[in-house]
Amino acid sequence: MFGRFSDEEAVRQMAGILFLKAKYLLKMTIDVPCLDNIHASILVANLCGAEAQSETEGIFFGIAFRMAHILHLPESNTTDDSITQEIKIRTWWSLYMIDQWSSAGLDLPRQFNDDQHRLPMTEIEFWSLKPGQRVTSVSRSGPGLWGHMVVLARIFGHIQNLHQKLANRLLEEAQAEMITQDLAQRFEQFVHELPQSLQFTPDNLRQQAEMGLGRAFVALHLGYHHYATLLYFPYFDQTSAETVNRAIFVARCKYHATSFSDLLRVSQETPDCEAVYLIVAHMTVVSSSALLHTLLFGNQSEILEAKERLFSNFQTLLQLKQYWPGVDLMKACMRSMDTTYTVDRWIVKFLLQHALPMGDDIEQPVTLDLEERGKFVSDALSILRP
């Protein structure tokens, strides 16, 4: 995995060979349920995703999920010290978050429920644990960055359910707005309960980076803005009836897409805070699609800033493509602007099923008038020219 980020070209060129070797070694002990094999399965699954091997990715994630259930994670044994117990907790919740993402990305049923197990402790407390230390002697100040990510992942699961129901026309407008408002309140509660030291500010970003937590801190806030963008994205649909809250939800979607883009840019400019994991590409494309809506349908005063953020997003995608060849740059984003943002099966696939090809099996979205569309496409493409 880390070979992809090496400064040496020769090492980067070996990434494919090392991936095949890792997969081979894991298969040799795949029938042994243990923590090491769970972690190895997660790693190999992510490598499969990076190579656009979505079915194989799902298989290895599935193996990790089943092993975790066989081992009854996150329950601990009487012989476990504090480090082992926390590793089990963090492994369990990592699998939970992976399940939320991969199940949506592969359009598969989720395997984990919203259990009430203890959330991971703060990263500093985890790093301070000593081998052999008894669990009862460990004090916890509350969940850390990883724990707060779990809270967001729970909300994400409900957003997935909402999008599927909207696409299948299973909700009336009033019902959808009620669910959206409820999830919006959960986001507000999340921000309210986030410790002051974990609120996003330039000072907090710098302090977290100094502690070696800059990338995790950025991931938490990128996730927050991405999930919120997803929640409000359906209200761009111009074919839906005008409702009381639609304008508010559209404004919120634009705000979170904008905030995501700004945070992504800042993270790339701040040492030890860069967000370079594969799923950032999908998140960036979703942010760009919301920004494109502003470019196509927004006020004249909004267009310049939208173009600047779109260009910044595109630069990030170019950088990510160096590490992850499967990144398809702005293809899906450009295709989405060729629509009226209708909430249908295509838009759900675009927003959630990031591990699957868009394909031609889904009915094409409604298009704009050809003359208007040509102008909008020309305007959008102009931001990518030097």
pLDDT in tens, 302-352: 888 999 999 999 899 888 888 887 676 545 555 544 455 665 555 666 676
Backbone angle region of 194, left / alpha / beta, with phi > 0 → left and psi within -120 to 50 → alpha: beta
What is the mean pLDDT of the segment spanning 266-288?
92
What is the mean pLDDT of the segment spanning 350-365?
54
Cβ 39 vs Cβ 25: under 8 Å = no
Structure tokens at 28: 């040799």
Task: Say what the pLDDT of residue 201 is.
Answer: 96
- Classify 143 as helix, strand or coil: strand
Strand partners for 169: none
Q: List C-alpha distances in Å: 80 to 65, 68, 83, 120, 382.
A: 21, 16, 8, 16, 59
What is the mean pLDDT of the segment spanning 268-280?
93
Rounded distance between C-alpha atoms, residue 193 and residue 172, angstroms: 32
H or E segment and range at residue 322: helix 300-323
Structure tokens at 73: 């994670």
Task: Say what the pLDDT of residue 355 is.
Answer: 56
pTM over 0.75: yes
What does the pLDDT look like over 141-200, one tens digit per residue?
889 999 999 999 999 999 999 988 888 889 988 899 999 999 999 999 999 999 999 999
Of the candidate ranges 50-54, 108-112, 253-257, 343-347, the one whose mean pLDDT is the lowest: 343-347
What is the mean pLDDT of the segment spanning 215-242?
91
Task: Say what the pLDDT of residue 198 is.
Answer: 97
pLDDT beyond 90 at 283: yes
Rounded distance between C-alpha atoms, residue 296 and residue 372, angstroms: 10
Strand partners for 143: 121
Rounded distance between C-alpha atoms, residue 46 and residue 63, angstroms: 13
How many H-runs (helices) and E-runs (strands) does the chain carry?
16, 0
Task: Say what the pLDDT of residue 244 is.
Answer: 78
Task: Say what the pLDDT of residue 318 is.
Answer: 87
* Distance between first and last Cα of the chain: 33
- Amino acid letter, 106: L
pLDDT beyond 80 at 239: no
pLDDT beyond 80 at 373: no
Q: Which residues lie below 8 Å from residue 226, measured CB to CB, with a gap of 6+?
A: 256, 260, 283, 286, 287
- Sign for the CA dihedral angle at 138, 143, 144, 149 comes to positive
Strands (E), 313-367: none
Q: List C-alpha distances in Å: 342 to 158, 167, 249.
A: 20, 9, 15
Cβ 105 vs Cβ 356: under 8 Å = yes
What does the pLDDT look like over 85-128, one tens digit per residue?
999 999 999 999 999 988 887 878 899 988 889 999 999 999 99
